[in-house]
Structure 1
């Protein structure tokens, strides 16, 4: 049995819609696409009781370096269709984290206590309307947004649309407090607009 640290990747989508800004102790209510993670992460963390050293890092929606899910499901379709898709009225929030900041959290998590779990979000809880507006600039169709119902989005994007439609806001304070994590890339909209 290994006792070295093992950092497991989860994701904040397992929390479902949050009621305002929450932390890792919020109730779990995953959309179907991430429901499988609950039992998986429970088994991973239970290994701390056997002397192993599991830690779970749950990234928010990762952006940066012209990659990530927003690029694949919003920017690329926007380039093709001439408008970036948006789900619902755009009032829901996405909890974002820059790829370089989340990478730093993974390194810090190697020294976290066994059985710990951290929401990897940088405190950038932005409305989808602002995000899709920024993504429309990256797609080359500034301010052209196509509003989709959840049903239309699911037909176009598949079950991940349920996750994109979540209203999530996270503090990310536990990783700052316990591990000294200091996200520094905090202008998501400017970076998303650049593509």
Structure 2
């Protein structure tokens, strides 16, 4: 790499990307790095420029621009997520065109420099989901050190289409690729980026359940709420990217098919989350009972994301921990975060 490392981050104004970029700006490598963020908002671009981040106004749909930015980057943190809940169960739930543009840019860089650039891509443990609809927990626990187990995942699983493209790029040798797979991320993001109005402070899964419960006037769950998901605090998942980046720079991180890193520090039953939501709504005078009730079949059909919430996604972040990642927050913290989340949403 040159004296100045060009680092591109997508999703820099998002929940995860903002948290990651804030940590990168505080990292010892920041002084020798030029950070570039692709953002849609000219106002947020100005705020990023003011704190030393080169901001390019544009969107992920501008593929030629994305490819050009990728070709100029020695490191890419791809922290963008899928484009909306209603696309989750469609075949193109992860946009392959975006990933192909990034990979095409990285290939151009490799061909011109002879050095394989680094890609740290954000996927998710949605790749492990089933269609339990809240009725049971499956017994399989996926481990990110068990490559053969992970390769049993069907190509049709959520995120898998893009993950496989990224793994293949590493196999071809023109990029060193690493995939971070967060589980249920929770808690409001805090910090300078939120205070400046740059970063989205809210997660997706639990706020979605809260919004649905507020509309119903009652905390709820899918089916019997017996499905299980792993979980991780926003601050802990952001720190995983930094630990991984340091390991990559030290040539100590697995990549390609051995470069999948789960983000989890415990797991929860959907019932327990639903109950915490129901109790919060009841305490605040917005729910009829402190006990969660089952969302109806009709509601399930109308809300595809509810089906997602009713799935199972169980995993262990063994590879991530082997790098030295030490998450601090547990499922107890997840449950404790729900009432403040409800209160914040009511104020909004």
Bucket of the pairwise TM-score, normalised by the shorter protein: 0.7 to 0.9
Indicate if the aligned counterparts of 1:136 and 1:193 stay in contact, CA closer than 8 A.
Answer: no
> How is 1:97-112 mapped onto 2 (pairs within 5 angstroms)?
97-110=232-245, 111=248, 112=253
* Equivalent residue number for residue 59 of structure 1: 182
Q: TM-score, normalised by structure 1?
A: 0.84
Q: TM-score, normalised by structure 2?
A: 0.49
Residue 181 of structure 1 pairs with residue 325 of structure 2: yes
User: CA, structure 1 residues 73+161, in 2 after alignment: closer, same or farther (shift >3 Å)?
Assistant: same
1:114 maps to which of 255, 273, 293: 255
> How is 1:132-143 mapped onto 2 (pairs within 5 angstroms)?
132-139=274-281, 140=284, 141=287, 143=290
* Equivalent residue number for residue 120 of structure 2: 7
Post-superposition shift, 1:135?
2.2
Match of 2:119, SS?
A: strand
Structure 2, gaps ≥5 residues long: 1-108, 111-115, 131-137, 189-200, 342-348
* CA distances 1:111-166 after superposition (whole Å, capped 9, x unpaired): 233320011111x21111111111234444362423025x43433422x2332111
Q: Quick check: which one's strand share is greater? A: 1
1:28 maps to which of 132, 148, 153: 153
Number of residue-to-residue matches in the alignment: 188
Structure 1, gaps ≥5 residues long: none
Superposed CA RMSD: 2.3
Q: Which structure has the bigger radius of gyration?
A: 2
Residue 162 of structure 1 pairs with residue 272 of structure 2: no
Match of 2:181, SS?
A: strand
- Which of structures 1 and 2 has the larger relative contact order (alpha carbons within 8 angstroms, sep 6+)? 1
Indicate if the aligned counterparts of 2:220 and 2:275 stay in contact, CA closer than 8 A.
Answer: no
2:316 maps to which of 157, 171, 182: 171
Residue 146 of structure 1 pairs with residue 293 of structure 2: yes
2:175 and 2:299 mapped to 1: Cα distance?
A: 42
